[in-house]
Amino acid sequence: MDLNRKKHSRWATLLLAGMVSLSLSAPASAAEKVQPLSNPSWTSPSLFTDKMDNALAVRATEVHAVPAKKLAYVHTQQDIPNTTGKTENSWYLDTLQAYSTVTGKSQWSYVLHESDGPYTLATQMAYTSYGTVYVYADYSDGTHKLHSIHPSGKANWVKDLPDASSISLLKDGSLLVASKGKVNNQGIIRSTLSRYDNNGKLLNQQAIQGSVLKADGNRIIVAASKLTKNQNGWQAVPNPRIDVYGLALKRLYHYQFPSNVNVYGDGSDSMFVLKNGTVLIRTNIDQVGNKLFAFDPKGKLLWGRQISGGSITQSTGTGYVTYENGNVKLFTVASGKSAASMNLEGDAADYTWVKPTSDGNLIINMDDRTYILYPSNLAVIHVFDTTKLGSPIDYIAHTIYSVNEDTLTKYLLK
């Protein structure tokens, strides 16, 4: 789980203010005592023992623990000078490292760079519950590769891909590879959906109109409208059409949003697939404000609910939560009234995130503390002091893994 504290604009800064407030009962208050972190269970050796002599900077970008394999993965990145001048993109040397969750000792490193080979321009990782890690990488020579890495640190397989793509794990364990597509002179994007099993076998493939916005569970959400061209290039139309596909890569339904609707957001989570296939899409409508739309598994529009433009939204698997100014509210799909509400104590962080944890709970960070909540009722599981924690972090099963400067540290919560 990538929980980097990168500050970026929120829906409130991109979208319109002046929302209609929901009428709610008085919220509960999370007054539990903040748990100080005890001495760490272990601290790893330096994450950067293999630093390149010409590296401009080094960082850890992701931490992800897999208790079933007794491994904690760390994605590290080194900035490498661009020596060709053929592209303005930054060059990176990306490495996936594995550490024992029992001892903190290094188990292996998988480097996404061969001697004298191209460096990476961008990477995306998808972690399975059984330890396999998929890594998609764009390289400085214009190639694109998909790596499947075994929990032993060896490559299961590596595939060359024809186009820039994104990857997503789906409900049945398959991996979706979605090409980002190209725009023709009519403003139509053509892209390709491909599903692979864990052995790298192609299960099915489908050429589509549009590009993938979100893939999760058993649904794939595609922006399918033609683009319009102006002096700034190709732009999204003001009444976008969304196509939704299933695991067979066949279109299940589509929906044409009203005029002047923005479905693209600002990079925050804004599209969710619930466990039963219900799709939630957050939008902003000119002169109206933010609305969350819900579509049942067959594509029937259930409702459009107004929400605050300054709030964060997140799925609970069966419903959703909103977070704003220290207050988190839980909603079901059936009811527009909050099923639970909680005021979180502590000052707001520079960038607050509300994320699902790997064990199915919710994690919300404040400036000096982090909350772990049950998604079913917002009851507090843990609230722990984060003033001494670094970034990124991962939480699973009452355990925190945190990068502190150049090491990985494990803490057990009581």
CA dist 135 and 164 (Å) reads 13
User: Which of 59-92 are b and which e, b meaning 16 or more Cβ less than 10 Å from the residue's Cβ?
Assistant: bbbbbbbbeebbbbbbbbbbbbeeeeeeeeeebb
Task: Look at residue 308 and tell me if it is in a domain.
Answer: yes
CA dist 303 and 336 (Å) reads 9
Look at residue 406 and tell me whether its pLDDT is greater than 90: yes
Q: Which two tokens stand for residue 360?
A: 């199915």
Q: What band does 25 get if pLDDT is binned at 50, 70 and 90?
A: very low
pLDDT digits (tens, 9 = 90+) for 319-343: 999 999 999 999 999 999 999 999 9
pLDDT digits (tens, 9 = 90+) for 138-185: 999 999 999 999 999 999 999 999 999 999 999 999 999 999 989 999
CATH number where 29 lies: 2.130.10
Per-residue pLDDT, 29: 58
Any idea which of 61-70, 95-104, 222-231 has the lowest mean pLDDT?
222-231
Number of helical (H) and strand (E) elements in the chain, helices listed first: 1, 37
Per-residue pLDDT, 88: 77
Per-residue pLDDT, 30: 58
Per-residue pLDDT, 116: 86
Average pLDDT of the chain to the nearest whole number:
91
Look at residue 285 and tell me whether its pLDDT is greater than 80: yes
Q: Which two tokens stand for residue 159?
A: 């595939």
Task: Look at residue 2 and tell me if it is in a domain.
Answer: no
Task: Look at residue 1 and tell me if it is in a domain.
Answer: no
Identify the domain containing residue 345 by its residue range.
Answer: 11-412
- What is the radius of gyration, based on Cα positions, of the chain? 22
Task: Look at residue 183 and tell me if it is in a domain.
Answer: yes
Of residues 245 and 33, the one with the higher pLDDT is 245
Task: Look at residue 76 and tell me if it is in a domain.
Answer: yes
Per-residue pLDDT, 120: 97
Look at residue 13 and tell me whether its pLDDT is greater than 80: no
Count of structural domains, the chain = 1
Per-residue pLDDT, 265: 75
Look at residue 16 and tell me whether its pLDDT is greater than 70: no
Section 238-254 average pLDDT: 95
Instruction: Let me know: does 364 contact 21? Beta carbons within 8 Å.
Output: no
Per-residue pLDDT, 4: 40
Positive or negative, the CA dihedral 146, 94, 212, 244 is positive
Any idea which of 15-19, 59-63, 130-134, 359-363 has the lowest mean pLDDT?
15-19
Q: Which two tokens stand for residue 328?
A: 């988190």
Per-residue pLDDT, 363: 97
Look at residue 249 and tell me whether its pLDDT is greater than 60: yes
Task: Look at residue 251 and tell me if it is in a domain.
Answer: yes
Task: Look at residue 5 and tell me if it is in a domain.
Answer: no
What residues are paired with 94 via a beta bridge?
77
Task: Look at residue 4 and tell me if it is in a domain.
Answer: no
Q: What band does 31 get if pLDDT is binned at 50, 70 and 90?
A: low
**Is the preceding omega at residue 392 within 30 degrees of 0, hence cis?**
yes
